[in-house]
Amino acid sequence: MEALIPVINKLQDVFNTVGADIIQLPQIAVVGTQSSGKSSVLESLVGRDLLPRGTGIVTRRPLILQLVHVDPEDRRKTSDENGVDGEEWGKFLHTKNKIYTDFDEIRQEIEAETERVSGNNKGISDEPIHLKIFSPHVVNLTLVDLPGITKVPVGDQPKDIEIQIRELILKYISNPNCIILAVTAANTDMATSEALKVAREVDPDGRRTLAVVTKLDLMDAGTDAMDVLMGRVIPVKLGLIGVVNRSQLDINTKKSVADSIRDEHAFLQKKYPSLANRNGTKYLAKTLNRLLMHHIRDCLPELKTRINVLAAQYQSLLSSYGEPVEDKSATLLQLITKFAAEYCNTIEGTAKYIETAELCGGARICYIFHETFGRTLESVDPLGGLTTIDVLTAIRNATGPRPALFVPEVSFELLVKRQVKRLEEPSLRCVELVHEEMQRIIQHCSNYSTQELLRFPKLHDAIVEVVTSLLRKRLPVTNEMVHNLVAIELAYINTKHPDFADACGLMNNNIEEQRRNRMRELPSAVPRDKAAGSQGDQEAGTGNWRGMLKKGEEAQADDKSKQQGPLPASPQKGHAVNLLDVPVPVARKLSAREQRDCEVIERLIKSYFLIVRKNIQDSVPKAVMHFLVNHVKDSLQSELVGQLYKPALLDDLLTESEDMAQRRNEAADMLKALQKASQVIAEIRETHLW
């Protein structure tokens, strides 16, 4: 199991090469307040002085420290290969293959790299520094040194420095694969430990928190940390380990870490003899090594699944970016053909990517035909905009100077054309809506169906322009056809239409039957001329002939006559009229004869209008499909090929977007890293480490 930590180090190296932190690898994050002894603990684990020292905030960037144990034989082999003179050395990720054998240079490089990113104003940055230490005196560990928790900004620090540091710490310790090393000084109250407080926020059960109590030798005289180390004050599931740090005097006098560890052991034996074997730097290193190994073993199954899922995602992403173009002619023809096919499939409803949020393509065109257009036509009132006075005026104008014995047919034809003309506007609007939808299909295909087009923005724009131009050319042709459909209906009013003839016959039969019934009801002593004279009174009074109309129409007719107001004055018996004066309107009701004639014309208009509306509702969608939709489908590919498939345009159209090549390389590198990581985990299973 000891080999599990080097495996994680390998995985860390793999993902460092692509600069990605998409995989949360098991590691140990060191958390504590400023001057709590975090750096001293880390240096004790390394066994060398390598971290910057000073007052105030010193650690201003996360330091990911990988400790790699090397055997003497491996050390000699590495020394021969890399020319390393010494048994311990370090390597930074940002300096590539440069090897540091002088640990003072390592400390200086940490300071320089911190200032390069974070500046000189004591600000912090979340961009980590990666450092690897190879030594025969360390155990395999991966540690993250985080900035110390602070409360008050000093110097040029930002006012929200406390919030920045807190968010940075939470970013690392929120990782469920991270062990939290909470460092607290023994000469402070454990109940007020900021490190334990922030650790408890993300690990309330304490399952991945280990507490370290530093500065055991600096406690007040007469006090000790026995209760704390025994877990009686603040219980922590992974335990509490006490250590003794080097003092500032020890650091100034260059006291070695090895000598400090010996003095620590002596102090523990003297002060805490019963706990000496379960405290100290060496015990801390072994405990961390053991905890990390077990933690890695528990995390590996989920880690393997995560790597496989990401590999599949990046494989799909790389495929969408496509391979670098070699045969431009074939690639252009392939993209044009694919776009044309997807466009047609979207209309037919057989596209690969089906829209679920809203109607699209052929489904929306069908909705326009049968819902939008159909309901609009049905909402058009056959007599809309036509008043009783309009009808009466048309009848009078059609008779000329002679009083009419019958309703003139010309008045019906004049009025019905006026009503049929109202069907043209919704018909042309139907064409416009279908044209807009076919324009929307272009964007739909670009977004969902042909991702390859995103690689070539100029080709995409050219295809959109060609299809838009084709649709634009077909629009006036389709509008003209729809206009002609209405004009055809206006050109000849077919009163012999079977449906219209049936309606007229039924109406005539009803009128004739009503006249006969009235004649039967007259007394035998009444002369025929009297009967004829009283006929108008009966019609006005009883209205029996209105039975052929729908219930309630007689009330509508009465309302219309009332609403129309006065009619033009006509010569009345006993009154002289000056023809040079403007006629003075006088209010009067329509006579029974006039009302009957108007309602007969209205009934005929309604009957014929419904016939024409039915024809238009059927013929307009057919015309739109033939002249616009089907024509575009049939000629789209030939139009695209004719306009774009030209040798002179190949290089320009197949120019990739500026960042496409970069994104393809990044995706390829990440996929390679994930595949390598998968191989590393597979090796673990083969060697029975997992």
pLDDT in tens, 259-290: 888 898 999 998 888 988 999 988 998 888 88
Instruction: Select the more confidently predicted residue: 547 or 679.
Output: 679
**What does the block give as tokens for 360?**
């699209």
Instruction: Select the more confidently predicted residue: 392 or 168.
Output: 168
Q: Distance between CA 588 and CA 583 in Å, rounded?
A: 15
- Please give the pLDDT value at position 645: 87
pLDDT higher than threshold 90 for residue 646: no
Mean pLDDT of 314-339: 81
Q: Distance between CA 680 and CA 138 in Å, rounded?
A: 23
Q: Per residue in 170-207, pLDDT tens?
A: 999 998 888 999 999 888 888 888 999 999 999 988 88
pLDDT category, 503, cuts 50, 70, 90?
low
pLDDT category, 494, cuts 50, 70, 90?
confident
pLDDT category, 685, cuts 50, 70, 90?
low
pLDDT higher than threshold 70 for residue 429: yes
Q: Are strands 89-92 and 129-135 parallel, antiparallel or unpaired?
A: antiparallel
**What does the block give as tokens for 376?**
């609009």
- Please give the pLDDT value at position 655: 79
- Please give the pLDDT value at position 628: 94
Location of structure tokens 């006993």: 574
pLDDT category, 621, cuts 50, 70, 90?
very high
pLDDT higher than threshold 60 for residue 405: yes
pLDDT category, 614, cuts 50, 70, 90?
very high
pLDDT higher than threshold 90 for residue 12: no
**What does the block give as tokens for 193?**
């430990």
Mean pLDDT of 3-14: 66
Q: Which of 107-111, 125-129, 196-200, 316-320 has the lowest mean pLDDT?
A: 316-320
647, 444 Cβ separation under 8 angstroms: no
Instruction: Select the more confidently predicted residue: 40 or 14.
Output: 40
Among candidates 19, 300, 65, which has minimal Cα distance to 181? 65
Single-letter amino acid code for the residue at 34: Q
388, 598 Cβ separation under 8 angstroms: yes
**Mean pLDDT, the chain, whole residue set:** 78
pLDDT higher than threshold 60 for residue 535: no
Single-letter amino acid code for the residue at 617: Q
- Please give the pLDDT value at position 511: 57
Sign, CA torsion 175/179/183/189? positive
DSSP state of 466: H
The angle, 0 to 180 degrees and rounded to 10, between the axes of the packed helices 281-321 and 4-16 is 40
